[in-house]
C-alpha cells in the first residue's frame, strides 16, 4: 500500500527553525516547501516492500524454470542434430570407401601382369 500523505506539523517545524536562528519568514517558507514535498511524495511501507520482494522472487523463479526448460529442449535438439550428422558422415564415408575400392579393383584389372 502506498501512502500519499505524511502527517507533518509545519508550525512546529517552523518554530524549530526559528529557534535555531532562522528568520521567521524563511522558516515558514521552508516549512511550507517541505510540507508540499512530503504530501506530494509517495512513500513505501514495509508491507509494500515485502509484497514487491515476493513478486520479484516469484518472477525470478518462473524465469529460472523457463530457462531450464529451454536449455533442456536445446540439449535434446543438439543431441538429435549431432546423431543425424554422425549418420550422414558414416554414409558419406561408406560411399567414398565403395568408390575407392571400385577404383582400385578397376586399376588392378587393367594392370599388366607380372613376369
Q: What is the pLDDT of residues 43-96, one digit of tens each?
A: 778 999 999 999 999 999 999 999 999 999 999 999 999 999 999 999 999 999
* pTM passes above 0.85: no
> What pLDDT does residue 2 have?
47
Considering only CA atoms, which of 46, 40, 38, 49 is closest in space to residue 8? 38
Number of domains in the chain: 1
Whole-number mean pLDDT of the chain?
Answer: 89
Residue 36: band (very low, low, confident or very high) from pLDDT cuts 50, 70, 90: confident
Report the alpha-carbon distance of residue 61 to residue 65 in Å, rounded: 6
Within-domain flag for 102: no
The whole domain housing 72 covers 2-81
DSSP reduced 3-state for 113: coil
DSSP reduced 3-state for 105: helix
> What pLDDT does residue 5 have?
53
Within-domain flag for 28: yes
Amino acid at each position: 500500500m502506498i501512502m500519499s500523505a505524511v502527517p507533518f506539523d509545519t508550525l512546529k517545524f517552523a518554530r524549530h527553525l526559528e529557534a535555531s536562528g532562522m528568520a521567521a519568514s524563511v522558516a515558514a517558507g521552508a516549512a511550507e516547501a517541505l510540507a508540499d514535498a512530503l504530501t506530494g511524495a509517495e512513500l513505501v511501507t514495509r508491507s509494500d516492500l515485502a509484497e514487491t520482494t515476493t513478486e520479484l522472487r516469484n518472477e525470478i523463479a518462473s524465469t529460472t524454470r523457463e530457462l531450464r526448460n529451454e536449455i533442456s529442449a536445446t540439449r535434446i535438439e543438439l543431441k538429435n542434430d549431432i546423431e543425424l550428422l554422425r549418420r550422414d558422415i558414416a554414409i558419406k564415408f561408406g560411399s567414398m570407401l565403395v568408390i575407392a575400392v571400385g577404383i582400385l579393383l578397376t586399376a588392378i584389372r587393367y594392370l599388366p601382369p607380372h613376369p
